[in-house]
Amino acid sequence: MATHGLLRDALGALPILCVLAAVYLLPPDTSLGEVRRAGALHVCLPPADPPFVTGDAKAPGIDVELLQALSRDLGLTLALVPEPAMGQDFNPRAWHVTRAACEVLAGGLVASPMTRSFLETSPPYAQTGWAVLAPQPVTDLHGRKIGVFTPPSGLDRIALASQLRAAQAQVIIVPSAAALLAGLREGRFEAGVTEKLAADQTAARAGLIADWLPGELPRYPIALGLWKGDLTLKRAIGSGLDRLARDGTVAAVLARYLGKGAGA
């Protein structure tokens, strides 16, 4: 009986031993070492997606400035790789970006469940969601005429549409952030709705007020994307972002584009 018991215990432990053996035999993660040997951090991002990427050398965007600081912190050169598809679709699988092109993906990356199913993500540096933009604070959308610009950021458009419909808002869809601002200035609608950080930037530049959209819509972290399995690089980038947050670099970059106190 004792022999049978020992055999049963051994068989029960076999799956665990197999998993441990498989982990032991996995090749080591060399992602950080490969980046250090190359001396450069390659980052895929959209050519322009304000306020994250602007294409302006003097004010290149939040993500570009953070990546410049992060690369210096890690002792690397920053190599930006523009990928037009990243500015046209919120689904990472539609970007057709590969490991051969870059180690990091950026440009206002929303760390949603869809994104995390495809990519690793760094610690977040800001939070996003739907925001309302107006000349005066807006606490109630009921019956109001609302301009809406929905960039391809990965935010929940269905939940937004449901909330605006429940509020019986008169919705006017606009094609760009510039059209949203023009509609507000011309009085074609009372308030605008768009992504939070873009709303913060517009408010800071145009003397408007941006705040979270009233209601219970979800908010998401904004982060950098990395390939699955690149754990040593992920840890190094996470540690670097933590140092930049502690020394005030992250807050200073956000304030430069969004105004003081925005982006939180």
| Whole-prediction pTM | 0.82
DSSP-derived secondary structure for 153-164 = S---HHHHHHHH
Last residue of a domain, one of 175, 196, 212: 212
Looking at the fold, whether 62 and 187 belong to one and the same domain comes out as: no
Residue 163 resides in a domain: yes
Distances (CA, A) of 9 to 19, 46, 258: 16, 55, 61
- Identify residue 213 by its one-letter amino acid code: L
Q: Which amino acid is at 198?
A: A
Q: Which residue range is the domain that position 205 belongs to?
A: 130-212
Cα separation of 214 and 131, whole Å? 8
Asked if residues 52 and 151 have their Cβ atoms less than 8 Å apart, the reply is: no
190 in the same domain as 153: yes
Q: In tens digits, what is the pLDDT along the chain, a chain of 264 residues?
A: 455 554 455 445 444 544 433 334 445 689 999 999 999 999 999 999 999 999 899 999 999 999 999 999 999 999 999 999 887 777 777 888 999 999 999 999 999 888 888 899 999 999 999 999 999 999 889 999 999 999 877 788 999 999 999 999 999 999 999 999 999 999 999 999 999 999 999 999 999 999 999 988 999 999 999 999 999 999 999 999 999 999 999 999 999 999 876 655
Q: In terms of domains, do 115 and 245 share one?
A: yes
Q: Are 95 and 173 within one domain?
A: no
The closest alpha carbon to 223, from 93, 84, 67, belongs to 67
Q: Do both 144 and 167 map to the same domain?
A: yes
Which residues are within 8 A (CB) of 115 and not within 5 positions of it... i.e. 6 or more apart?
92, 109, 121, 154, 225
